[in-house]
Structure formats: C-alpha cells, structure tokens
Structure 1
Amino acid sequence: MPRILVLYYSSYGHVRALAQAEAEGARSVPGTHVDLRRVPETVPDAVRQSAGYLDDDTPEAAPADLAEYDAIIFGTPTRFGMMAGQMKQFLDQAGALWAQNALVGKVAAVFASTGSQHGGHEATLLSTQIPLQHFGMLIAGLPYSFAGQTCRDGIIGGAPYGAGTIAGADGALQPTETDLAGARFQGAHVAQLAARLAVATPARQVA
C-alpha cells in the first residue's frame, strides 16, 4: 500500500483547497493511503490576524515524518518567484534525512498558488523542485495528458511542472474547477507512480 503525504503551507486558503484536491486524487487510486498535513506557521498570531490569514486546523507535520512516505506532494504559495518561507524553513530542517539518504527514490511533486499569471508561477514550481532533487527524490509534474492545461476559457493555473491556481492580486480569485481537476489529476498521477515503484525490485546500491 503506497503511502502518500500531501504537505502544504497556505495563508488564505488557495493552496489548502488545491491540497485537498491533490489528496482526493491520490485517494482515487485503489490501495493508497493518503495523509494531508501542513507545515508549521512561523508568522506571529497578531500578524496573521491583521493580514487576514485563514485559520487552519489541519494537523502539522514534522520533517522526520517525510521518511515514512513513498511519495510527497508539496504545496506552497509564491513569494517573489519562490516557495513561501514557511515551507523553506521546514525543508531546511530535513538535513538529517538528506544525510541518511532517507528520501532517495521517493516520488515528489509540487503545486502552487500565485497572485498573478506572470508573478512567478512557473518559477515557484521549478525552484521548489530544486531542494527535492538534492534529497534524491523523483519529480513528477503535471503531464499534458491532463487536457485542462490547454484550456482557453479563463485564467488557469498550473504548468507541466505542477498544478496551480492564480489567486489575483487581492486573493479574491478562488481555484477554478480546472485548477482543482489538475490537482486531482496530479495527485492520482503521483499515487500511480508510487504504486508502480512499490512493486519494483529495489535498485542495487553501488559504493
């Protein structure tokens, strides 16, 4: 039974909505166990309240938890073309896993929310993949077999590098059904890859 972790950080709920869709997609693959977790908040409560951040009762994850899964799907808002600091701090605490090669060969994927169509959407998806490759993870994107990527009927998030949504400069836009469908597709795609790897013969380690 492949174990999938959907791990995210969300300020205003856009990434959380995508995360729930990713988890739904992963659970659609028979025999898959899926956990939905968030990274710890680093912003003080007073700042969160003044900025209008949404409360989130999703259980938190710890860096050590990552080793327990066959695949991990990471979700983050865009901060100047990169992942949010909360996600970066979480990954920065996973040095022990890196030293132990604990994540080598596990499937990884990324999804993101961005304020504008050209506000670093693809840059965030790609730059978030960099530390995951340092961990030795196998990157899964959002294949063009998800036909929604070519939709021209509105503002659509996502790219071949991962699912996504465009929130608008004021955060008023919510994930479209196409965005959510892309997240569900990616979640199922990752679960299917993890299932195939789970039954494969482990690669021989070469000194």
Structure 2
Amino acid sequence: MSQPYVLVLYYSRHGKTEAMARYIARGVEKVSGMEARLRTVPPVSADTDASLPPVPDAGAVYCSADDLKHCAGLVLGSPVRFGNMAAPLKYFLDGTSPLWLTGALINKPAGVFTSSSSLHGGQESTLLSMALPLLHHGMVFAGIPYNEAGLLQTRGGGTPYGASHWSGNDNQHPLSDAEISLCQAQGERIARLGKALTQLDGVTS
C-alpha cells in the first residue's frame, strides 16, 4: 500500500504562491509516515482548445482527479483575484463533480492559503472563497490556531483562516519568517489530521 499523502494544490502566476506551497510541503513532511504531493493547474484562456502540453516545462505537474481522490488531506492555494480565487483553480474545482457525487473527499482535512500584492487586498475573503467548495465536498476544514505565535507577530500575511503572504506591488517582498513559519505549521497540522483520520478510518471500516 502506498504511503498516505497531503495534496498541496496551487495556482501561481508570479511564484509567491508556489513558494508558499513548497514551505507547506515541508511542514507536511515533518509528520512521520506522510508525504507531500505538489500539484498545480494550467491557466485558462478564452479559446477552449487545448493549447498547452500535458506536462508543464517546469515546476509541479498538473493535478489529476486521482491525485485529489486518493489524498489523505488537501491544502489549496491561489493568489488573490479581486477578493476571490484565481480562475484556473476555480475551473479545476468546478470539474470535481464526479468526486462530489461519490463522496470521495468526505471527512478528509483541508486548508487554504493565498498571496496578494497589497496588504489588505482581499486575503481573507479569498481564503473563505476557497473553503466553500471544500465544505461542499464534506471535507473537514482546518485553519491555523492561535497557539502559532506567528499569527500575533506577523507584519505581513498570516490569518487564522489559512496562511497568506503580502508580496508587494512589484512582487518585491520575500516571504517573512512569520509567513514561512505559518506555512509550515499549516502543512504539519493538515498532515497530522490526515494521518489521524486515515488511521481512524482503518479502525472503523
């Protein structure tokens, strides 16, 4: 049997959401017996013809329905787009109805993360918008608790709804120590929940 994994699924345009995903993956892999699986989604365009290769030239590979179906937990990330998730990620989620119909994601832990160019550019509304489809799938939504000191120390991103990053108008801000710490804490928390729920399911099934 393959080792359980947390799917870290993101869309990134300028690299900051991807950087967050990699720190979240490090947090996941702090938990013994859990792997992190990094996946992304392709951009969408006005034409409906496939115009990109099936595997990207660099970075994470594109997510498949099976990647999502078989995960032990999910952490979903997107840059802010007018207070909402980016269209490519929404497009991917809109195609997950078959998983919803079969209840494939019920009782699996999930969290969300985001980045924005302005400090008050809609981070929290974006995080909440990403939580909605996960709740419809019956997932167990988990944020970041306040025993994580970074929530009270951050001068950039970081919310109880999920990790966030303030990238700056020209994408000039690197992730701060507090933002990195919160990313890793979120990944570790989802991994611990995923491990516990997977073991519980094995006992009760």
TM over 0.5, yes or no? yes
Separation (CA, whole Å) in 1 of partners of 2:25 and 2:45? 26
Q: What is the one-letter code of the residue matched to 2:27?
A: G
Determine if the alignment matches structure 1 residue 165 to structure 2 residue 143.
no
Give the unaligned 5+ runs of structure 1.
45-54
CA RMSD of aligned residues (A): 1.9
State the SS of the aligned residue for 1:158.
Answer: coil
Instruction: Give the TM-score taking structure 1 as reference length.
Output: 0.87
Separation (CA, whole Å) in 2 of partners of 1:33 and 1:76? 21
State the SS of the aligned residue for 2:80.
Answer: strand
The correspondence for 2:44, drawn from 23, 42, 45, is: 42
1:122 positional shift: 0.6
Q: 1:128-157 CA deviation, whole Å, 9 max, x = no partner?
A: 1001100111101011111011115xx320
What residue number does 2:147 align with?
145
Separation (CA, whole Å) in 2 of partners of 1:199 and 1:11? 36
Separation (CA, whole Å) in 2 of partners of 1:61 and 1:40? 9
Separation (CA, whole Å) in 2 of partners of 1:77 and 1:203? 38
Aligned positions of 1:1-207 closer than 5 A:
1-43=3-45, 56-151=58-153, 155-201=155-201
What residue number does 2:53 align with?
none
Q: Report runs of 4+ in structure 1 exceeding 4 Å deviation.
A: 201-205
1:56 positional shift: 4.2
1:2 positional shift: 3.1
1:30 positional shift: 0.6
Q: 1:48-107 CA deviation, whole Å, 9 max, x = no partner?
A: xxxxxxx84211112342111110110100001010001000000101111111111111
Q: What is the one-letter code of the residue matched to 2:7?
A: L
Separation (CA, whole Å) in 2 of partners of 1:158 and 1:204? 36
Give the unaligned 5+ runs of structure 2.
47-56
Q: What is the one-letter code of the residue matched to 1:159?
A: T
Separation (CA, whole Å) in 2 of partners of 1:166 and 1:72? 23
74-83 or 63-72, which moves further after superposition? 63-72
State the SS of the aligned residue for 2:118.
Answer: coil
Separation (CA, whole Å) in 2 of partners of 1:97 and 1:182? 30
